[in-house]
Structure 1
Amino acid sequence: MEGEKAVLELIHSNIQIEFVVTSDEFATQYLSEFKHTELYIEDESLLHKLSTLVSNSFGFAVVSMQQFNFQLTYKNDITVVLDGIRDPGNLGTIIRICDWYGIKQIALSKDCTDFFNPKVIAASMGSFSRIQFEYINLEELFKANNNVPVYGALLNGEDIHAIQFPESCFLLFGNESNGIRQENIEFINQKVTIPRYGSAESLNVGISTAIFLDNLRRN
């Protein structure tokens, strides 16, 4: 975990921190937060060299990889479902957005980018530790839970502002370039569109997820 905000998020999570590498300035500033953490103090120039971020004067934390063996239940919850999301920045942003809106679980098609890709972890800003997830064949997921309605983000659906979302459903979002695959569109019970008032060609999938979840919570 790299950067000031991301590392400080870890202090309040259940993730085991092995050690933190930071500068003398930040070690002093956050002395109370790091009182139970093994610290290594290095020059900022070295921290910049070791980091994958464009700018990182704070440093990073090395943490233990958790074993995630969730048994997700879909019948009584809101589940964000991702179909072929390849961009790690988008996935990390979606994880963070789900955490903001209190969505606890994400189902991912098996060709989605790795949940633990460093760019996903960085973009999630610590929210990855609070989201349960599962990589699964989406066709099998929808067939096994055919009593849970599927709301799909498409360009030819009903205006999202007129939708009354139920307390339990799948919210399906497609690939950044190609959208939801045809074989998964067949399982959608309600096609939903974010109305366009300007001239932009499309919306980023992370932004679309935020708009869906905001409207869902307004209900």
Structure 2
Amino acid sequence: MLTNKQIKLINSLHSKKGRKENDLFLVEGEKSLLELVKSDFKVDFFLLNEVHVSLADQISQQSKAPIYFLDPESIQKLSTLVNNQIGLAVVHQKKFPPFIIQDRYTIVLDGIRDPGNLGTIIRICDWYGFKQLVLSEDCTEFYNPKVIISTMGSFSRIEFTYVDLPTFFKEHQEYKKIGAVLNGVNIHHYQFPDKGFIILGNESNGIREEIMESLDERITIPAFGEAESLNVGISTAIIADNLKRFILS
């Protein structure tokens, strides 16, 4: 039976402070839970709708973590989501080894604040086979519940690190710094270098001036209509698609 201490713990994980103090986070919803049990994340416990026996069976086959059952109304009260009567899990935050760049190209984010955008970008990275993500120190929190749910399970396959970007770039000078801006080289004609960082900036202000000054090259997604700008998640997907076509060609 779920204890008052566990209920208090779940509620504390609704806040960034609680997640940081406990080194835990919440995974919510059926899709994310099923992706979670296929990963190497350590689960503290699951909380599931007592009606969804088949989901409990699937989870118990792949995880030894305790499963507690509650009625859907009680689950909804403990969830951060507007609509979640399926269940949630309390999960340990992952401790990564020292970050070492693995691939020719890595996505780098400068000041991304919207949790939905970050979650979408994580999902895009997973779709296009990027295994790592570099974030400036003021990007929104990876383990924010809105980020996690927006990834649709892709959070479990992406290694990430928060860094001071100028210091990070100095430590990796062999990688070209390629910024996504409004006045760069048309990406359809751009010749990608052998390896580099694709840098995308804040939703409102773009890449900050300090980082702009350190860029090696600048690229632009050409507009054919009247829209002022593109969502940063959409921009990430378009650039990733063009990059992957270049690498595979």
- TM-score with structure 2 setting the length: 0.82
Partner of 1:169: 196
Distance change (3 Å), C-alpha of 1:184 and 1:29: closer
Is 2:36 aligned against 1:10? yes
- Aligned partners of 2:223 and 2:208: how far apart in 1? 22
Bigger drift between 139-148 and 78-87 goes to 139-148
Partner of 1:181: 208
Distance change (3 Å), C-alpha of 1:57 and 1:110: same
- Aligned partners of 1:144 and 1:28: how far apart in 2? 49
Partner of 2:81: 53
- Count of residue correspondences: 218
Structure 2 residue runs without a partner (length 5+): 1-26
CA contact (8 A) 2:107 2:132 kept: yes
Is 2:161 aligned against 1:150? no
The 4+ residue runs of structure 1 with deviation greater than 3 A are: none
Is 2:122 aligned against 1:122? no
CA contact (8 A) 1:72 1:132 kept: no
- Aligned partners of 2:232 and 2:150: how far apart in 1? 14
What per-residue deviation string (whole Å, max 9, x for no partner) do you get for residues 112-164 of structure 1? 11222222222122222221222111112222222211111000011111123
Partner of 1:90: 117
Q: Which amino acid aligns with 1:64?
A: H
Partner SS for 1:188: coil
- Aligned partners of 1:69 and 1:121: how far apart in 2? 21
Q: Which amino acid aligns with 1:193?
A: T
CA contact (8 A) 2:46 2:65 kept: yes
- Aligned partners of 1:100 and 1:2: how far apart in 2? 21
Bigger drift between 34-43 and 203-212 goes to 34-43
- Aligned partners of 1:27 and 1:121: how far apart in 2? 24
What is the deviation of 1:70? Answer: 3.2
Partner SS for 2:44: strand
Partner of 1:21: 47
Partner SS for 2:35: helix
Partner SS for 1:19: strand
Q: Which amino acid aligns with 1:181?
A: R
- TM-score with structure 1 setting the length: 0.92
- Aligned partners of 2:241 and 2:32: how far apart in 1? 24
The CA RMSD over aligned residues, in Å, is: 1.7
Structure 1 residue runs without a partner (length 5+): none
- Aligned partners of 1:30 and 1:187: how far apart in 2? 51
- Aligned partners of 1:216 and 1:79: how far apart in 2? 11
Partner of 2:217: 190
Partner SS for 1:151: strand
- Aligned partners of 1:134 and 1:198: how far apart in 2? 36
